[in-house]
């Protein structure tokens, strides 16, 4: 039984949006300086390790979405944090303050 509403963002989707934003930021930082590129690469590596470690992008029963299907509050907290991270990466990308 899934408690997740049909229109709710999955953890995998929210994490995928963060990953895309990191990649865009990495492209942008490469135009600015090698120091900023290194900072973005470091944060992207940390994010990737976190996602891989808890199974964000795996399929089936091993996925974090599946494991949290009956813990909607935890699911909501994680997707909220991922949305906040995406916003932060976007702000750093467009306003130039890496890593605030």
pTM given for the model: 0.82
Using DSSP's 3-state secondary structure scheme, residue 90 falls into helix
The CA-to-CA distance between both ends of the chain, in Å, stands at: 40
In the Cβ-directed half-sphere of 69, how many Cα atoms lie within 13 Å?
9
- What length does the chain have? 100
pLDDT reported for residue 97: 54
Domain boundaries, the chain: 11-95
Where the chain has pLDDT below 50, the residues are 1-4, 99-100
What is the predicted pLDDT for the residue at 47?
A: 97
Q: Counting Cβ atoms within 10 Å, is residue 97 exposed (0-12), middle (13-18) or buried (19+)?
A: exposed
- Per-residue pLDDT tens digits for 49-69: 999 999 999 999 999 999 999
């Amino acid at each position: 039984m899934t408690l997740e509403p049909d229109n709710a963002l999955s953890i995998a989707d929210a994490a995928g949006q963060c990953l895309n934003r990191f990649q865009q930021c990495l492209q942008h930082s490469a135009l600015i300086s090698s120091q900023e590129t290194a900072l973005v690469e470091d944060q992207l590596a940390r994010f990737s390790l976190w996602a891989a470690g808890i199974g964000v992008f795996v399929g089936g029963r091993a996925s974090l979405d599946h494991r949290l299907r009956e813990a909607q509050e935890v699911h909501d907290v994680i997707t909220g944090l991922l949305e906040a991270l995406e916003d932060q990466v976007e702000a750093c990308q467009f306003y130039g303050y890496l890593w605030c």
